[in-house]
Chains A and B, each alone.
Chain A
């Protein structure tokens, strides 16, 4: 009998902090202790609490060990698994009570979460199809193939209210219906796994933690629209996701759950992988189709929409990873169950990748309608170092910054659009008082300038001009007219760019102009960066009263901009200074200040 399971997180976050070694040490330590037969070690997907990785969970106790190092493994094996004594120093502090461990569901991080898309992440071994099957895997496919007509499947998805989780929010059922209504028997099902927003890793985690649910959902979609072939377009920078998808596809084919005559029902469906080289524009659906076809990843004008004329000119549906991850659950639990979660127009849950200035960096899945404040302060554990919250950025380079006054807005597609941001694919970057909003806007614009494919002029030339104006502003050379010029350009590009990349590229600038115009004006009028970020507007000075003449700053200055004799006050020459801050960091007397 296997009496205990040790789950080691094998997601990218924990993997990069050494979970592979932890997994190996568990195997060897368990063997050495003679427990190899009764304790099983499983490598799972992401648990979500990446800030505390590498994560190890031991069942049946449900003990949540955080920040485990390979050298801790011996202690866990000898104490916990052999003698039954918890290793308290490694337990996640919120789960430790007087004489017992508390369930993870009661911690601040997990209490308000509702895992639907991530239901199997951190629960099953993603490289073992049998574990997926143990948690009702492929039962939804079996159900649609035997009990439902294709139009019933579409009706169910439509009734659930599921909307595209890639950011657009288009009703999924409607998309499937368009494709199903097209004539012809050659159609395609595509999965957009080209997650490109900086700071977003929801799709990667689903693929790494539960690859089979995507395969199952695509087969269901294929049955619904009458397609027998699917493509997953995944970026090559996700090596673990690619590896697990390959294993999953091979296992599903082997088990007869992909391929011809699935489960003896006469339904054929197979899936191939296509690796993207990492161009952001290939996350745009028409560019993605071009890329799958082997062409350059340029967007195509729409209409015709992919549902009419998509991959190889045939009717095609393209859904995001997280959208698919919801599908098997909707089929098994029913549309009503799904629609009971969320707000009036946004049903179900949404996965967010929390990042930036926040304590619990990681992956969270919340019902739609949860407020930003709950996500940031309760689930995310607030801002580190007692700093003040300034804004939260959602939607990546296509989204906007939301200031503190909107923290109580319930998160759904329409509310976020109304306050000048977008839901986006789920990146959520928290910023504190040390972040300069002009600099943030510039960061995202630099990204879109790099990633613009160059096909249409508004995007290729327009956003470059915008970046130049932002450069002027952050270097103190701008005039007030430049802000107006910038704003006009934003609206022009939004209306005239060919694809989503260009149409949304001005959003980070527009939303910061809307809520943080005073910061722009401080840069332009006072030639000052209020947060002390924009280097060209900074000057460092040394206070002669406080300076003891220890020469430490002068020795640390890489450009010899600091002069002065020993035991006498030093002076910083701002014409030579490169604003690196090394002097300020090295001063032991707090004599150097920046403004």
Chain B
């Protein structure tokens, strides 16, 4: 390292990599249901798709995590997205193909994809 600018650049790059290590200071949390019912319905590729999407878009303030069975096994794979104000949106029958749209529309721009939510599908 020859200059302070290089040091600062390295710090900013590394900061993203350790971002996951803070307690509860995230803009958004994406929870993929990964109980037996979820895994059987194909939650694993959904989780991977979310991770890939978040990484390509460099959304370091978003956490991707898993959760257990929510009790609506017929709707699996289920994904819950918590906004910073605690609002929860529940997406059902999620497939890897639906993930880019959810990330672009909801996670980046803050507009839930209504047609994928449980509200639209339970009727």
Contact = CB atoms under 8 A, between A and B. Distances in A.
B88 interface: no
B1 A255 contact: yes
Interface centre among A124, A134, A135 (most CB of B within 10 A): A134
Contacts of B22: 59
Contacts of B55: 1
B113 interface: no
Contacts, number: 94
Interface residues of A, number: 36
Contacts of B31: 84
Given A1-B64, A84-B31, A257-B1, A133 B11 contact: yes
A364 to B, nearest CB: 19
Nearest to B55: A1
A7 B21 contact: yes
B17 A60 contact: no
A133 B68 contact: no
Contact of B18 (A4, A131, A138, A256): A131
B2 interface: yes
A2 interface: yes
Interface string A257-283: 100000110000000000000000000
Given A7-B21, A83-B34, A103-B23, A130 B10 contact: yes
Nearest to A132: B14
Contacts of B2: 256, 263-264
Contacts of B73: none
Contact of A135 (B3, B18, B32, B67): B18
Contacts of A59: 20-22
A105 interface: yes
Contacts of B116: none
Interface of A: 1-5, 7, 38, 59-62, 82-85, 103-105, 123-124, 130-131, 133-139, 142, 146, 255-257, 263-264
14 contacts: A1-B55, A2-B17, A7-B21, A59-B22, A60-B29, A60-B65, A84-B65, A104-B23, A105-B23, A134-B15, A136-B11, A139-B11, A263-B1, A263-B3
A104 B21 CA distance: 13
A61 B54 CA distance: 18
Given A3-B51, A142-B4, A146-B4, A124 B18 contact: yes
B14 A4 contact: no
Contacts of A62: 23-24
Interface residues of B, number: 37
B64 to A, nearest CB: 5
Contact of A103 (B24, B32, B52): B24
Contact of A133 (B7, B33, B51): B7
A85 B33 CA distance: 10
Contacts of A255: 1
B20 A84 contact: no
A137 B48 CA distance: 32
Contacts of A138: 7
A142 B23 CA distance: 28
A177 to B, nearest CB: 27
A34 to B, nearest CB: 9
B53 to A, nearest CB: 9
A136 B14 CA distance: 10
A256 B1 contact: yes
B95 interface: no
A3 B68 contact: no
A131 B68 contact: no
B11 A134 contact: yes
A134 B15 CA distance: 5
Contacts of A139: 7-8, 11
Contacts of A3: 20, 51, 63-65
Contacts of A123: 21
Q: What are the nearest 4 A-B pairs in CB distance?
A: A84-B66, A134-B14, A1-B55, A1-B51
A82 B44 CA distance: 9
A82 B47 CA distance: 10
B68 A85 contact: yes
Nearest to B21: A59
B7 A142 contact: yes
B1 A84 contact: no
Nearest to A85: B68
Contacts of A124: 18
A136 B31 CA distance: 30
A131 B14 contact: yes
A586 B18 CA distance: 55
A370 B68 CA distance: 42
Contact of A61 (B11, B36, B65): B65
Contacts of B8: 139, 142
A123 B66 CA distance: 23
A82 B23 contact: no
Nearest to B18: A134
Interface centre among B18, B21, B31, B66 (most CB of A within 10 A): B21
B35 interface: yes
A5 B66 contact: no
B30 to A, nearest CB: 9
